[in-house]
Amino acid sequence: MAHRLAKIITRTGDKGQTGLGNGERVAKNSPRIHAIGEVDELNSALGLLLAEPDLPADARVTLTDIQHQLFNLGGELSFPALPDARRLIRAAHVEALENDAARFDAELPPLKDFILPGGCRAAALAHLARAICRRVERSLLALAETAALPEDARRYINRLSDLLFILARFLNRAAGKDDVLWVIGAQKES
C-alpha cells in the first residue's frame, strides 16, 4: 500500500484555507470544515470512551464500528457533490444503529424520569459523546442550508445520538451504577 500521508506538515493551510478531497480549497471556518471537524471531535470522544479498560465487549465492538463509519462520514463531507453511488453512509448503517439501540435498550429498565449525564466514568464519556453528536447534527443542518447533504448522513447522526444515550445507561448498568435522576428544583443542601 502506498503512503497516503507521506507528509503531515505541508504549510498549505497557513493562510486559513484547507483542501477538500476533490482538490478544492476552502476557508477553515467554512460550514463544511466545521462539520468535518465536529465529526472528528465526536470520533475522538468515542476513542476516549474506548480507552476505558472495563468496557463491555459488545459495546466496544459497536463503538469501534461507529468510529469507522464516522471516518467514512468525514470522508464523504470532504467530497462536495459526491454521487449517491459513491456514498459510504447508507440506510443500512442507520438501520444497524437502530438495531444496536434496540439490543442495548432491551437490557434496561424503562426510563420514567430525565437523567443527568453521569454515573460511572464510561457512562459519563458516552453522555459527553452524545452531546458532541448533537452538535455534529446541528453543524450538518447548517451545512445543508448551503450545500446538498445526503439524508442518510443526517439520519445516521440523529440515530447515533440516541444510541449513545442508551449506551450511557447500559454502561452504568454494566458497572452496577444507577442512572443519575434529575431532581426538579434541586437545591444544594446546607
The C-alpha cell at 70 is 464516522
Any domain includes 9: no
Using alpha carbons, select from 79, 162, 81 the residue that is nearest to residue 127. 162
pTM above 0.85, yes or no: yes
Give pLDDT, residue 79. Answer: 86
Count of domains for the chain: 1
Domain assignment present for 126:
yes
pLDDT in tens, 32-67: 999 999 999 999 999 999 999 999 999 999 999 999
Residue 184 lies in a domain: no
Of residues 121 and 2, more confidence is placed in 121
Residue 172, pLDDT above cutoff 80: yes
Q: Is residue 7 part of a domain?
A: no
Cβ atoms within 10 A of the Cβ of 91, count?
11
Q: What is the pLDDT of residues 133-149, one digit of tens each?
A: 999 999 999 999 999 88
CATH of the domain at 41: 1.20.1200.10
Whether residue 158 lies inside any domain: the answer is: yes
- Percentage above 90 pLDDT, the chain: 67
In a domain, 172, yes or no: yes
Mean pLDDT across the chain: 89
Question: Which is higher by pLDDT, 29 or 140?
Answer: 140
Note the pLDDT tens digit of each residue in 63-100: 999 999 999 999 999 988 777 778 889 999 999 999 99
Other Cβ atoms within 10 Å of 87 Cβ, number: 16
* 1: confidence class by pLDDT, cuts 50, 70, 90: very low
Mean pLDDT of 162-177: 97
Residue 185 pLDDT: 76
Looking at residue 47, the DSSP 8-state letter turns out to be H
Q: Which range of residues forms the domain containing residue 35?
A: 24-79+87-177
Of 133, 155, 6, 131, the closest CA to residue 67 belongs to 133
| Residue 189 covered by a domain | no
Is the pLDDT at 188 greater than 60? The verdict is yes
Contact assessment for residue 164 and residue 117, using Cβ atoms and an 8 Å cutoff: no
Strands (E), the chain: 17-19, 25-27, 115-116, 180-181
